[in-house]
Amino acid sequence: MRQARTLSVRIVIYTFLILAAIYTLIPAVTMVLTALRSPQDLQMGPFTLPREFTVIKNFTQAWVNGRFNIYLKNSIIQTIPSVLIVISFATLAGFSFAKMRFPGRSVLFFVLLGGMMIPFQAVMIPLYFLFNRLHLIDTHAAVFLAIGVLGIPFGTFMMRSFFMSLPNQLLEAARLDGCSDFGAFVRVMLPLTYPAWVSLILFQSMWSWNNFLVPLIFIFTDELRPLPLGLMFYSTRYTTNYTLVAAGVLITIFPLVILYIFLQRKFISSITMGALTG
């Protein structure tokens, strides 16, 4: 599409974009400002201009009394294994769907496709029952197993698309050189998966980190709460001290936002790759 040339058209475009950007940012800016103020200063309401700032105090209180240090630790403990599960299982399966033949390949692929559509609500009660039996309720494992395994279909899909985009000549060349099939996979294909892995890691991490419903169903004690759950219960306790809640909010979103700022393009492309390949 041609870029607009006339000045008036450009003014209209940029005005609109700037207004939309302001609209997008206002909620975030408010949250940041609220986290910086003191509760007394906030008496006038969260959307007035601040005068008194007590940043350090707010954050240390949220971190220690609010136990956000524990929630952060739990989020990490629950995210990393789920990402590992997806990466390892999905890479193997994705490669197989892309570059290998085996009986039932199309059937299984269809199953996988269906798997991506399954809402968590469909499996949450039986999983609750299953984890109950396995005595995994209220453990980190319940969360990262559920989130990890439910992320496998999509991850497989993504890896399959990726492997399909890799030229077959590479494989054939490797085999001609005397590689075993497995060796061809490991020595030729795997090293190339780095960009796809980055995308998948970002995608799965974000989904796991932000997940609220899975830990809500499986985690009950405060000790094991990840950030979203911890934040929710924290906000219902600190009913009148919004500054602390805002500090908690910032702690919650901080890791992903930092990643986002440094990896903008990659982040955006990996999250949207989902919808396009789907």
| Residue numbers 155-194 binding other proteins by CB under 8 A | 156, 168, 171-172, 175-176, 178, 180-187, 190
Q: What's the length of the chain? A: 278
Give dist(CA 219, CA 200) in Å, integer: 26
In angstroms, give the least distance from the CB of 165 to other proteins: 12
Q: Is 275 in the site for other proteins (CB under 8 A)?
A: yes
Pattern 231-270, binding to other proteins, x per CB under 8 A? xxxxxxxxxx-x--x---x--xx--xx--x---xx-xx--
How many whole angstroms separate alpha carbon 228 and alpha carbon 68? 10
Under a CB-based contact definition with an 8 Å cutoff, are residues 232 and 257 in contact? no
Q: Quick check: 13 binds other proteins (CB under 8 A)?
A: yes
Size of the site for other proteins (CB under 8 A): 137
Q: Which residues of 191-212 are buried (b: 16+ CB within 10 A; e: fewer)?
A: eebeebbebbbbbbbbbbbebe
- DSSP secondary structure, 83-138, as one string: HHHHHHHHHHHHHHHHH---TTHHHHHHHHHHHHH--HHHHHHHHHHHHHHTT-TT
Residues 151, 207 contacting (CB under 8 angstroms) = yes
Question: In the complex, what is the shortest distance from the CB of residue 182 to other proteins, in angstroms, rounded to a whole number?
Answer: 7
Measured on CA atoms in the order 245, 247, 251, 252, is the torsion positive or negative? positive
Query: Does the footprint of other proteins cover residue 141 (CB under 8 A)?
Result: yes
What's the closest the beta carbon of residue 199 comes to other proteins, in angstroms? Answer: 14
Residues 93-112 that bind other proteins (CB under 8 A): 93, 95-97, 99-103, 105, 108, 111-112
Q: Is 26 in the site for other proteins (CB under 8 A)?
A: yes
For position 50 contacting other proteins by CB under 8 A, the verdict is no
Half-sphere exposure of 57 (CA within 13 A, CB side): 9
Shortest Cβ 43–other proteins spacing (Å): 8
Contacting residue, 153, 158, 196, 199, with other proteins by CB under 8 A: 153
Query: Which among 20-28, 51-59, 193-201 is the span making contact with other proteins, rule CB under 8 A?
Result: 20-28
